[in-house]
């Protein structure tokens, strides 16, 4: 069924198991009637209309309306599963929102492809002191000056409470009111495009948060007993899953069309439980192609996946899923180990320059190799003929890799300028699409910790206790784990923008600006494929040399000075004033890097 945003159909509801449904709109009760669909594919859902849809013929056809649904005589109205606004929170009435009311001023915005781009990941609540979309729009000039191309917003959909990471969302169509709601979201995207910046929205379709999730009251949105790490799995392949998948794909289309975002980052797709012949990820690929054809602007789908399965990137015509990109955590792990020396947990297999060299040349480290953390072989090789390196999104830090540490500590809280500069060079000169996490570019001294604001005391207590137990199992002192429910944990995680002009913070920020500008001006760093990528390294001496065409990137991960033989004759950029080049011999002080050209 295709639902219109106008007229009485805007209140249509899928509730296949309900015996009666009443729409409460502007304080009036409107009995709803079952919708009987016609045609060979109408189905025959017994006792619930042809496909379980309900309509309210006398509902308000226009105007802003506060509304909810009463199921089977229950006197408590439930919010709309497709609600665009929840001004009083996720347990309260929904409010209509007309996305066409916004007058877009983005001019000739033609979109932004992934290839050649630099992504900047940010969390709205901690990016600025105000924690709103309008406040974030006030920092766009800073991001333009930094040189990034695309902003990636952590989830913004409706959740219970005032602040959290965003992955506890329960109303996927609503923009969290504390961020400014849907109108502010449109203003932000409009302003970003006017500034020449793309926007990618992080979306979560693999689970729902613990508070305010009423979907199962309406229909079989979830599969009880078939859970993932976060709870019951979404029903992607069981009875009723046709409508559930439409619910997800319609939501994805909403971001791309109504809010004009340039792409979606699909959270934890390895948690999708889908045994249908056409996987949901393939549907996402098809949706992106359709929106691109419709708008003339690239619609980019990026999967977060720990499967190391390049089939997500292969064309649908080749039995792939046709996505534009996927994350490569292996790159993060290899860089993290080589700059920090940390080799516990899932870092164990990455304790060598050989691991980093393999990732740079092949995209994944675990491409069918044995993973000691998993206790089995993992991944498969990337077909270099079908995948450009830019399809892999990489980072040296991100919200998960920082926030899921016991104290939420960044690299900048334990490493010096030289090691932070090495991480920056490795990420921004890699063959892949680099992503920065907010504050990384100036070595933010603030942590980014796990924070929640569950209003329910029992849920807040369970969350805090679960966090402590999780890190006890990993060998951390529970005393150092901050209470996620403590408001100070959230406040500590906000960026301190005064740091950008101070000492090594300012020095590192200048380096990031220079690296991004050099990346944009150097086709060898963004245009070449896997076949044109070569890596030499010395495990004993601690240096690695990345060659991309005639551009060479030399990195000394050792604390001791090293000498590296290079082909180029000119130093384009160096992270240390002590770098010297003469007669093909490059002298690198400890923890330094240089980019060499012909």
Query: CA-CA-CA-CA torsion for 19, 24, 28, 33, nearest 10 degrees?
Result: -40
Q: Which two tokens stand for residue 575?
A: 């992270």
The radius of gyration computed from the CA coordinates of the chain, to the nearest angstrom, equals 25
DSSP state of 11: G
330: helix, strand or coil: helix
266 is in an annotated binding site: yes
Locate 299 and state its tokens: 């619609």
Active site residue 51: no
Task: Give the pair of three-digit tokens for residue 156.
Answer: 């913004």
Is residue 419 a contact partner of residue 339, using CB atoms and an 8 Å limit?
Answer: yes
What are the two backbone dihedrals, phi and then psi, of residue 286, each rounded to the nearest 5 degrees?
Answer: -65, -40
Would you say the C-alpha torsion 504, 506, 512, 517 has a positive or negative sign? negative
Is 270 annotated among the ligand-binding residues? yes
DSSP letter string, 116-172: T--EEEE-HHHHSSS-SHHHHHTTHHHHHHHT--EEEEPP-EE-SSS---STT-SEE
Of these residues, 121, 237, 267, 367, which one is catalytic?
267
Let me know: does 96 contact 84? Beta carbons within 8 Å.
Answer: yes
Could you say which of 51, 80, 304, 309 is catalytic? 304
Q: Does 454 count as an annotated binding residue?
A: no
Contact present, 86 and 174 (Cβ < 8 Å):
yes
User: How does DSSP classify residue 431?
Assistant: S
336 is in an annotated binding site: no
For residue 404, say whether it is annotated as part of any ligand binding site.
Answer: yes
Angstrom distance (rounded) from CA 363 to CA 150: 22
Question: What is the distance between the alpha carbons of residues 6 and 99, in angstroms, rounded to a whole number?
Answer: 11
Asked if residue 246 belongs to a known ligand binding site, the reply is: no
Distance CA 530, CA 390 (A): 10
Closest CA to 111 of 368, 273, 288: 288
**Rounded CA gap, 35 and 41, in Å?**
14
Cα 212 from Cα 160, distance rounded (Å): 7
Indicate the SS3 state at residue 295: helix
**SS3 letters across 316-329:** HHHCCCCCCEEECH
Task: Confirm or deny that 102 is annotated as ligand binding.
Answer: no
85: DSSP letter: B
149 is known to lie in a ligand binding site: no
CA distances from 289 to 16, 117, 303 (A): 31, 20, 16
User: Is 52 annotated as contributing to ligand binding?
Assistant: no
φ/ψ of 314, rounded to 5, equals -70, 150
Consult the annotation and say whether 330 binds a ligand.
yes
Q: How far is CA 443 from CA 67, 262, 426, 432, 560, in A?
A: 46, 28, 16, 22, 23
The answer to whether 333 is annotated as binding is yes
595 CB-near residues (< 8 Å, 6+ apart): 425, 429, 518, 551, 552, 553, 554, 571, 572, 573, 574
Task: Quote the distance between the C-alpha of residue 65 and its chain's center.
Answer: 32
Look up 267 and say whether it is catalytic.
yes
> 189: which 2 tokens?
């995207």
Which residues line the annotated binding site? 265-270, 329-333, 399-404
Which residues line the annotated binding site for substrate? 265-270, 329-333, 399-404
Q: Which residues are catalytic?
A: 267, 304
């Amino acid at each position: 069924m295709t639902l219109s945003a106008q007229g009485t159909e805007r209140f249509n509801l899928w509730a296949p198991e309900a015996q009666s449904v009443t729409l409460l709109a502007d304080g009036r009760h409107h009995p709803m009637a079952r919708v009987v669909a016609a045609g060979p594919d109408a189905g025959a859902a017994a006792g619930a209309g042809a496909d379980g849809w309900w309509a309210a013929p006398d509902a308000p056809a226009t105007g802003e309306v506060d509304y909810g649904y009463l199921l089977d005589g229950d006197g408590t109205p439930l919010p709309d599963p497709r609600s665009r606004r929840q001004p009083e929170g996720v347990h309260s009435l929904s409010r209509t929102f007309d996305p066409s009311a916004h007058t877009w001023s983005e001019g000739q915005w033609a979109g932004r492809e992934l290839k050649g781009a630099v992504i900047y990941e940010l969390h709205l609540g901690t990016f600025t002191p105000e924690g709103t979309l309008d406040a974030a729009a006030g920092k766009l000039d800073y991001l333009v000056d930094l040189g990034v191309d695309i902003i990636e917003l952590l989830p913004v959909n409706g959740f219970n409470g005032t602040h959290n990471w965003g992955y506890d969302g329960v109303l996927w169509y609503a923009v969290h009111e504390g961020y400014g709601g849907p109108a502010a979201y449109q203003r932000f995207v409009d302003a970003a495009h006017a500034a020449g910046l793309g926007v990618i929205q992080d979306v979560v379709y693999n689970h729902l948060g613990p508070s305010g999730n009423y979907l199962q009251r309406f229909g079989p949105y979830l599969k009880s007993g078939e859970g993932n790490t976060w709870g019951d799995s979404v029903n992607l392949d069981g009875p009723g899953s046709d409508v559930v998948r439409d619910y997800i794909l319609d939501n994805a289309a909403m971001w791309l069309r109504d809010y004009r975002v340039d792409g979606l980052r699909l959270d934890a797709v390895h948690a999708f439980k889908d045994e249908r012949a056409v996987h949901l990820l393939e549907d996402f690929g098809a949706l992106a192609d359709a929106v691109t054809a419709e708008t003339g602007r690239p619609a980019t789908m990026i999967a977060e996946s720990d499967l190391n399965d390049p089939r997500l990137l292969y064309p649908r015509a080749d039995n792939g899923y046709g996505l534009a990109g996927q994350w490569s955590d292996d790159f993060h792990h290899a860089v993290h180990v080589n700059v920090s020396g940390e080799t516990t947990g899932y870092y164990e297999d990455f304790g060598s320059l050989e691991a980093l060299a393999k990732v740079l040349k092949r995209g994944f480290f675990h491409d069918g190799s044995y993973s000691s953390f998993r206790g089995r072989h993992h991944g498969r090789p990337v077909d270099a003929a079908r995948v450009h390196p830019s399809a892999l999104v990489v980072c040296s830090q991100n919200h998960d890799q920082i926030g899921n540490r016991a104290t939420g500590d960044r690299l900048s809280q334990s490493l010096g300028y030289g090691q932070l500069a090495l991480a920056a060079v490795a990420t921004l000169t890699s063959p892949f699409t680099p992503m920065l996490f907010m504050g990384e570019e100036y070595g933010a001294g603030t942590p980014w910790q796990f924070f929640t604001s569950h209003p329910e005391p029992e849920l807040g207590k369970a969350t805090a206790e679960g966090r402590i137990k999780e890190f006890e199992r990993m060998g951390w002192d529970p005393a150092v784990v901050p209470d996620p429910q403590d408001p100070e944990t959230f406040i500590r995680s906000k960026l301190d923008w005064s740091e950008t002009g101070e000492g090594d913070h300012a020095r590192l920020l200048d380096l990031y600006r220079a690296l991004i500008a050099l990346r944009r001006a150097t086709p060898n760093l963004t245009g070449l494929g896997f076949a044109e990528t070569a890596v030499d390294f010395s495990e004993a001496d601690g240096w690695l040399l990345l060659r991309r065409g005639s551009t060479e990137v030399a990195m000394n991960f050792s604390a001791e000075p090293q000498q590296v033989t290079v082909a180029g004759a000119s130093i384009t950029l160096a992270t240390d004033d002590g770098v010297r080049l003469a007669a093909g011999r490059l002298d690198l002080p400890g923890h330094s890097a240089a980019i060499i050209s012909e």
